Structure 1
Amino acid sequence: MTTDRELARWRLRSQSLTAPADDAEQVVRSLLAVQAENPSQSAWAVATRTPSPEASDLARALESGRVIRTHVLRPTWHYVHADDVRWLLELTAPRVLPVFDQQLKALDDRMTAITDAVESALGEAPDQTRADLAAALADRGFELTGQQLMLVVGRLEMVGLVCSGAPRGGEHSYALMSERVPAARPFDRDEALAELASRYCTSHGPATERDLAYWATLTVTDARRGIAAADDRLESIEHDGRTFWHAPGAAPAEAAEPAGHLLQVLDEMYRGYQDSRWVIDSEGVVPRARETAIGMALVDAQLVAAMKRTIAAKAVTFSLRPHRELAARERQAIEDAASRYAAFLGLEPRVTFEAA
């Protein structure tokens, strides 16, 4: 009988946290999408899934356009491979666009003109930062607040007009998707649902139909349709009264190295699920209230502490607030994870533990 901890270990392996992918591009392709609301934290989410974490790896993929940072799946940024971004947008945008439209009601009568202005500005000069784009729109007679511009561009990303351009001095930029992402073959919704289900359950599995529906902003009915259409590419197990779908031939995992992981709560190991998220807390020690920390420490696939990262000139401090008393081996696993993370940042690691 499979346990919560075994499922969580299995997910570590599926998500390349204990079986790294080749490089940043492969991480993104394999996971299908990686939430990227916070560029600094999400860069580590990608890098920690590679054998030799380096910031330049993801930077090269973004520069080349092989990886795109754009709004897709849910109303927030994700890293998506260029080969996947168009069909994912076509599949998931219809249920997300109303969120943007509701927030942009005040601009309803000007949205067509603003869209034309954005397209003109980026057509003349791609790879514009948000400040550049704001100035270009102002020159065309559209003075938007920072919040309005963020929502406008987010909506234009969801309809496939705009996407990330080549970063400018490490800063996110915008470009026309038509100039950045190759045209895709005709879209078939049923085929897309099957592809989504197959790849999500392979890269995030074992996972439930409701996990998939949450992750991709689908109805549960559509999630079931996708899984049913992909059933020749998936297998399932029953656990805790639910069906969990996973890659064929995969099996519950034993404890694996590295044992410790310092991640953001936006990481796919947490945000990639909703229905069965708490297999990472088999002891039930983590408060189920809204997250009060932006980071977390996992040891042997279990969420054992909240984490805050503070960067200074020469060192990065990881402040841990344990959810229970930690054994010496668990503290060591966290120290090891801090060393890997600090090396990625090019800083010295410091770790502090509050009393449990």
Structure 2
Amino acid sequence: MTDARPTLRISAAQRRARLGRRHLLAPSTRAATAEEVTGALVALHATDPATVYLSACARLREPRAAELDRALYEDRTLERMLCMRRTMFVVPAGLAPTVYAGAGRAIAVRERATLLKHLRERAEGWDEERLAAAEREALAALAARGEATTAELSAAVPALRETILMSPGKRYEARQSVGSRLVRLLAADGRVRRCRPRATWNSNTFPWAPARPLPDVPERAAKAELAGRWLRAFGPATEADLKWWTGWTVTDTRRALADVAAVPVELAEGPGFVAEGDEEPVAAGEPWAALLPSLDPTAMGWRQRDWYLDPERVPLLFDGTGNIGPTVWWNGRIVGAWTQRADGEVVWRLFADEGREARSALEAEAARLSGWLGETRITTRFPTKLERELAR
């Protein structure tokens, strides 16, 4: 006998209500620690070092860069790793084995194959055996020093100073050091980890240290766990959203949704899913405003974004490769953009008049952001059209 119950319909307004609470953006939901923030969002984008701090501090009751430093470099309760979509993320340390097995390991395998191919084709005398020898030397040099930058490792291991011609024949061709590619590979394999930057917290200059091996987790179980956590944070969502966020195949995505008994629902975009037990409606809750950084996990959480972003605004907010810039939010929708000018002023622009309450809340958020940034200056790694206009 078939189940004749109708598929639950979930509106865009209901999705926005869940977003404000679950992503810790409503003022009363803000967290006390960086670990709470990261756990609520599954992972924080970390391609741009500043994003991790800005994303976390937007959701902390007491925003402080030192809180992220503690979690990343002192207590090491958060781990930075290359995983979903071949992107750098910061994840809870306890979840790192699951993320590696469910998304990171496959990336590491592809990274190794790509580097070996480039070395064979574009560098002299490199093969799999020489690459393995260079890895051993680099790890030995790192163990002897405790921590070192890529440049310091290259000074100790001559093979790392050799270069590879990337994108030959293109206008943007350039030579990359073997060291920079090899250290990235060791990080993808989980054999080295980033340490506290030598300069400010938003610096790209990281030393490296040997990493503890991650416990092994079966791949299918890891994918199911990751899908379940993502659904609880980002659901309701579509199959396409989960496939995009993880970088999985359609087959892996569907199997993971089945393994966690995801519940089918109907969204404006079409068929979607919620986590089992998450079918009940959520109250709208308090009004909230947020200034979120480029690549924030909320802005980048879904492939299909019409329910929180007017499609006509996409060219203003995204760069040419799909990276979103800093965004202004009001009650679950992107309503504008912001940036920090060279003199430190935080400026923002709305697409339309959202009313007095919204403007007052956004002014308070801009003041809050300026207050904890202090003398720090943020430079977005992937500037967008509207952000460049605001920066003038």
Aligned equivalent of 1:174: 208
Contact 1:35 1:42 (C-alpha < 8 Å) held by counterparts: yes
- Pair 1:277–1:114, CA change in 2 (3 A): farther
Contact 2:162 2:177 (C-alpha < 8 Å) held by counterparts: no
Matches of residues 141-156 of structure 1 in structure 2 within 5 Å?
142-144=161-163, 148-156=178-186
Matching residue within 101, 110, 114 for 1:102: 114
Contact 1:12 1:269 (C-alpha < 8 Å) held by counterparts: no
Structure 1 position 121, deviation (Å): 1.9
Aligned equivalent of 2:19: 11
Give, in whole Å, the separation in 1 of the partners of 2:116 and 2:359. 47
- Report the AA paired with residue 211 of structure 2: M
Q: Which runs of 5+ in 2 are unaligned?
A: 1-8, 121-126, 164-174, 378-386
Structure 1 position 95, deviation (Å): 4.1
Matches of residues 309-328 of structure 1 in structure 2 within 5 Å?
309-312=340-343, 316-328=344-356
- Pair 1:255–1:286, CA change in 2 (3 A): farther
Matching residue within 314, 317, 337 for 2:365: 337
Structure 1 position 266, deviation (Å): 0.4
Contact 1:35 1:266 (C-alpha < 8 Å) held by counterparts: yes
- Pair 1:127–1:65, CA change in 2 (3 A): farther
Aligned equivalent of 2:166: none
Deviates more, 1:109-118 or 1:191-200: 109-118
Structure 1 position 297, deviation (Å): 0.6
Contact 1:215 1:273 (C-alpha < 8 Å) held by counterparts: yes
Give, in whole Å, the separation in 2 of the partners of 1:318 and 1:104. 45
- Report the AA paired with residue 189 of structure 1: E
Give, in whole Å, the separation in 2 of the partners of 1:298 and 1:147. 41
Deviates more, 1:1-10 or 1:118-127: 1-10
Deviates more, 1:208-217 or 1:339-348: 339-348
Contact 2:232 2:275 (C-alpha < 8 Å) held by counterparts: yes
Matches of residues 214-293 of structure 1 in structure 2 within 5 Å?
214-231=244-261, 235-240=263-268, 241-246=270-275, 248-249=277-278, 251-257=281-287, 259-274=288-303, 276-281=304-309, 283-287=310-314, 291-292=318-319
Matching residue within 331, 335, 338 for 1:300: 331
Aligned equivalent of 2:149: 129
- Pair 1:6–1:74, CA change in 2 (3 A): same
Matching residue within 123, 138, 155 for 1:118: 138
SS of aligned partner of 2:157 = helix
Give, in whole Å, the separation in 2 of the partners of 1:101 and 1:262. 40
Contact 1:126 1:175 (C-alpha < 8 Å) held by counterparts: yes
Matching residue within 69, 81, 85 for 1:74: 85
**Deviation string, structure 1 residues 73-127 (Cα, Å, up to 9, x no partner):** 2322111122222331222135434356436633242432332222112211233
- Pair 1:289–1:335, CA change in 2 (3 A): closer
SS of aligned partner of 1:277 = coil
Q: In terms of Rg, which structure is larger?
A: 2
Matching residue within 220, 229, 232 for 1:199: 229
**Deviation string, structure 1 residues 105-164 (Cα, Å, up to 9, x no partner):** 3324243233222211221123323333333334x6633565654433222222222222
- Pair 1:227–1:134, CA change in 2 (3 A): same
Matched, 1:21 2:34: no
Give, in whole Å, the separation in 2 of the partners of 1:299 and 1:80. 27
- Report the AA paired with residue 266 of structure 2: E
Contact 2:22 2:40 (C-alpha < 8 Å) held by counterparts: no
SS of aligned partner of 2:338 = strand
Structure 1 position 305, deviation (Å): 0.9
Contact 2:32 2:62 (C-alpha < 8 Å) held by counterparts: no
Give, in whole Å, the separation in 2 of the partners of 1:348 and 1:266. 19
Contact 1:61 1:67 (C-alpha < 8 Å) held by counterparts: yes
- Pair 1:103–1:348, CA change in 2 (3 A): closer
Contact 2:160 2:178 (C-alpha < 8 Å) held by counterparts: no
Contact 2:111 2:185 (C-alpha < 8 Å) held by counterparts: no
TM-score (norm 1): 0.84
- Pair 1:15–1:149, CA change in 2 (3 A): farther
**Deviation string, structure 1 residues 207-255 (Cα, Å, up to 9, x no partner):** 2222122112111221121121112xx5453112121324634534415
- Report the AA paired with residue 143 of structure 1: E
SS of aligned partner of 1:331 = helix
SS of aligned partner of 1:175 = strand
Q: Which runs of 5+ in 1 are unaligned?
A: none
SS of aligned partner of 2:38 = helix
Structure 1 position 66, deviation (Å): 1.5
TM-score (norm 2): 0.77
Identical aligned residues as a percent: 25
Contact 1:262 1:337 (C-alpha < 8 Å) held by counterparts: yes
Contact 1:75 1:99 (C-alpha < 8 Å) held by counterparts: no
Q: Alpha carbon RMSD of aligned pairs, Å?
A: 2.9
Contact 2:289 2:329 (C-alpha < 8 Å) held by counterparts: yes
